[in-house]
Amino acid sequence: MTIVSGIAGAIMLFLGRELSFLFSAAMAFFIGIRLVPLLPGGWPPWAETAFLITLAVVAAILTLINERAGFYVTGFLVGGYVLSEIYAPGVLAIPLLPFIVGSVLGALIIGIFTEWAMIIVSCLVGVYFIAGLLPLAQTPKTLASAALFLIGGLVQVITFQAQKHSER
């Protein structure tokens, strides 16, 4: 699981806005991991994997169908996950009220501010997943996280600006 979160974190950090459907799918997958303990115990072992893949595919499809609606879907998933992680870090369940509040706030923030909010939020979430893998003391980990955030943000802004100029 650590490899998956590291790869997902790197994709979110450097390509979160560009590959918003993967960002949305990854967030749905990570929310699904927290929902797996709530599934019925009598299900076969493959059902958990099918559940996680289904959540990710549905989130990716919703984001691909309509870009504008995709911002709201991604914001909903990110906001819910982030506030749940702040309220109950590492717990394999989702606290309902923080999830709902975070989802609404995330959907509004990313839905209203679109591209720029997506860049900032995807960098923050990407750094969060990558920093969890760094075996450093707190101060060096914070400095490394800040550097990763700046590098990821610059990569995404440069890509975004290059796309805007090529469309002209």
Element (H, E) at 80: helix 67-87
Q: Are 127 and 13 in contact (CB under 8 A)?
A: yes
Kindly state the tokens that stand for 111.
Answer: 């839905």
pLDDT tens per residue, range 113-164: 989 999 999 999 999 999 989 899 999 999 999 999 999 999 999 999 998 8
Cα distance between residue 52 and residue 26, in whole Å: 10
What integer pLDDT is reported at residue 73 of this predicted model?
A: 93
Amino acid residing at 21:
F
Which residues, 6+ apart, have CB-to-CB distance to 117 below 8 Å? 71, 75, 109, 110
pTM for this model (two decimals): 0.86
Kindly state the tokens that stand for 99.
Answer: 């999830």
- Give Cα separations from 133 to 116, 136, 149, 160 (angstroms): 26, 9, 15, 28
Q: Where are the domains of the chain?
A: 2-167
pLDDT tens per residue, range 78-100: 999 999 989 988 777 888 999 99
Q: Are 103 and 79 in contact (CB under 8 A)?
A: yes
